[in-house]
Amino acid sequence: MDKCKVIAVTNQKGGVGKTTTAVNLGVGLARQGKKVLLVDADPQGSLTVSLGVKNPDELETTISDLMQIVVDNGILSPQDRGILKNIEGVDLVPSNIGLSSFEVSLVNTMSREFVLRSYLGTVKRDYDYVLIDCMPSLGMLTINALAAADSVLIPCQANYLSTKGLKLLLGSVAKVRRQINPLLKIDGILMTMVDGRTNNAKSIIAALRSTLGGSVRVFDTEIPRSVRAAEASGEGKSIYTYDPKSRVTQAYTNLTKEVAELGKETNRSRSDGAR
Ligand code: ATP
Ligand code: MG
């Protein structure tokens, strides 16, 4: 049985906390003893930098090279795998600006939606979780991430425009489910950079919960706004290492528990289905 769960951390809106969530959820799961692979699917390389790689443009092998080998029908030997090992307990498939031209070239490729899925198929047996940090667009790389994923986790800021943008995203997930990945689930929406002191944030979150009703989970955990989160990524560290006692660390610890519980539900329903 496939024990690995692939989660795409996605939102086409920029700057909502996708990368911060991928890093801190990934490291959080690793601290629970899980084997975790983080995949940087953004040409900005923010995940790569947030995990302490100083110059992504100097890396010899990145995600675009690995996906190109798949496109060329090449065999991925262990040396080609290009995975950076054990950074704060997680492994990383790094990215850099080269991914941008690769995305353009994908348009003329056969089975262009499934290249990342094919690549992950060669490595995921080594992991309990693969988290894909998506770029802020609904382009071909994000479609590749959604095609490769078992579920999506959607960071969202508590403001009016962000919650409006969710409709577009949920529509895209539904379309991917209809056309290329029928088993794709939504793990939930994660409210990020929440300013607990403002009533505006509180009322927006309450309105979102009631609009979505029971159809899509909004995680109980909310990530507070704190400059410590921004400082940690600037230092190339997870929040657990940078400031173990901060409110953001506590919040990501709580999120990790919620996500680990979901993993169990999925396994249970999968084995029920197999019976
Ligand atoms: P992009 O769409 O560009 O990939 P993103 O959705 O990945 O952005 P992040 O890079 O995680 O978003 O976060 C955007 C900015 O906000 C970063 O500078 C990050 O350090 C900061 N940030 C993230 N989480 C928090 C938080 N809880 N409190 C304060 N600042 C935060
Ligand atoms: Mg990002």
| CB neighbourhood size of 227 (10 A) | 9
Residue 22 confidence (pLDDT): 98
Residue 267 confidence (pLDDT): 52
- The Cα 227–Cα 11 span in angstroms is 22
Tell me, in angstroms, the distance from the centre of ligand 1 to residue 225's CA.
10
Ligand having the closest approach to the CA of 154? 1
Of all protein residues, whose CA lies closest to atom 22 belonging to ligand 1? 230
CA-135 nearest atom, ligand 1 = 4
Is there an atom of ligand 1 within 6 Å of 238 CB?
no
Is there an atom of ligand 1 within 6 Å of 74 CB?
no
Q: Give Cα separations from 42 to 126, 133, 143, 189, 221 (angstroms).
A: 23, 7, 12, 20, 26
Residue 74 confidence (pLDDT): 79
Tokens at residue 173, please?
Answer: 């997930």
pTM over 0.85: yes
Half-sphere exposure at residue 116, Cβ-oriented, CA atoms within 13 angstroms: 31
Ligand having the closest approach to the CA of 17? 1
End-to-end CA distance of the chain: 13
Tokens at residue 93, please?
Answer: 């498939």
Residue 261 confidence (pLDDT): 94
Residue 273 confidence (pLDDT): 38
* CA quadruple 129, 221, 89, 40: dihedral, nearest 10: 60
Tokens at residue 137, please?
Answer: 């667009």
Residue 138 confidence (pLDDT): 92
Chunk the chain into consecutive blocks of 10 residues (it has 275) and report each block's average pLDDT, rounded to whole numbers. Answer: 88 96 98 98 97 94 94 77 91 97 92 95 94 96 98 93 87 96 97 88 88 89 96 96 97 98 64 39
Residue 271 confidence (pLDDT): 43
CA-234 nearest atom, ligand 1 = 20
